[in-house]
Amino acid sequence: MLRIRHEVNGGPEVLFAEEVGRPEAGPGELVVRAEAIGVTLPTVRKVREGSGPVPFGGEVAGAVVSLGADVTGFAVGDRVTGLCFAHAYAEYAVLNSALTTAVPDGATAVDAVALVRSGLVARGAYEAGRVRPGESVLVTAAASAVGGLALQLAKAGGAGRVVAAVSSADKAAFVRGLGADEVVLYEDADWGAPYDVVLDGVGGDLLGPAVRALAMGGRLVAFSSGGGTVDAYELLVRGASVTGFQMRAIAMGRPDLYARWQRELWEQHAAGTLRTSVHEEIPLAEAARAHAVIEQRRNLGKVVLVP
């Protein structure tokens, strides 16, 4: 089977295609024939900035071809989507059954990788922000798959003012189409502050401005892999708070909540109240091009690899 790997850190140019044998399912695992693979910013960052080569993790959707021991609720031939923590960029991938869900009839594999993981992160960040009706919400990385879904959740939840923060003006029409009331650029002076809630999917150097954009008593939810430093004094003078959100903690620690959020995402998608956005479907062998799209901040929605 075809698989993408990298041997040294750097840009997309260090990605290589190789032929390897199909993986086997261990206890609690499924092997799926991949139909769509989501490309995520954390994975792109690991290639560029990590301490050494790592397998490409990510979300995968496809048909089950084999089951490991202790797996229940799934059968060979089921169409599913879930998280692969090793070698997701491949024609066959191993999924953790606890982090896998069925793809409903009528939904495509591309729908699944654009909705489930990104939607779960967006839902979790939104819930962590404890957004109340009428409050103002700023979403950074608003043109990303997660950011676009977070915008929609904030609007549907009754936020009074939902603002999208993006890297360039050419993304403004896209995020307005997802429900943003206003659009600000990262280079703008004050991002149209203050905000009751900031959902930050960027981190790094933008974490400081995100904190300074908070209103008195505001809440910032940091859910990116970009790190960054928070100035405690800025929190103090605003009586504000910062919460770090990680989806894996919900998936492993609150499986009941994780499953409910998955069901609700599919229900909202079927009802048309939560729309996915796919920037481009790119052949698996061209994974380097997919990484370049994300590194250059050109994507509007999800970047998907298709074997």
Q: Per-residue pLDDT tens for 49-84?
A: 766 677 788 899 999 999 999 999 999 999 999 989
pLDDT band at 130 (very low <50, low <70, confident <90, very high): very high
pTM here is 0.92
Q: Per-residue pLDDT tens for 249-299?
A: 888 889 899 999 999 999 999 999 999 999 999 999 999 999 999 988 899
What are the backbone dihedrals phi and psi of residue 215, each rounded to the nearest 5 degrees, phi first?
-80, 175
Residue 234 pLDDT exceeds 60:
yes
**Burial grade of 277 (CB within 10 A; 0-12, 13-18, 19 or more):** buried
Residue 109 pLDDT exceeds 90:
yes
All domains in the chain, ordered by first residue: 2-103+277-306 (3.90.180.10), 119-247 (3.40.50.720)
Long-range contacts of 288-297 (CB under 8 A, 24+ apart): 288/12, 288/13, 288/15, 289/12, 290/12, 290/39, 291/11, 291/12, 291/15, 291/39, 291/44, 291/47, 292/11, 292/12, 294/39, 294/41, 294/44, 295/11, 295/12, 295/44, 295/48, 297/167, 297/168
Q: Where are the beta strands (DSSP E) in the chain?
A: 2-6, 15-19, 29-39, 58-67, 79-84, 92-96, 100-102, 136-139, 161-166, 182-185, 195-200, 214-222, 241-244, 278-283, 302-306
How much is the pLDDT for 50?
A: 67
- Considering only 10-19, 37-46, 131-140, 188-197, which range has the smallest mean pLDDT? 10-19
Work out the mean pLDDT of the chain and round it to a whole number.
93
pLDDT band at 43 (very low <50, low <70, confident <90, very high): confident
DSSP code of 79? E
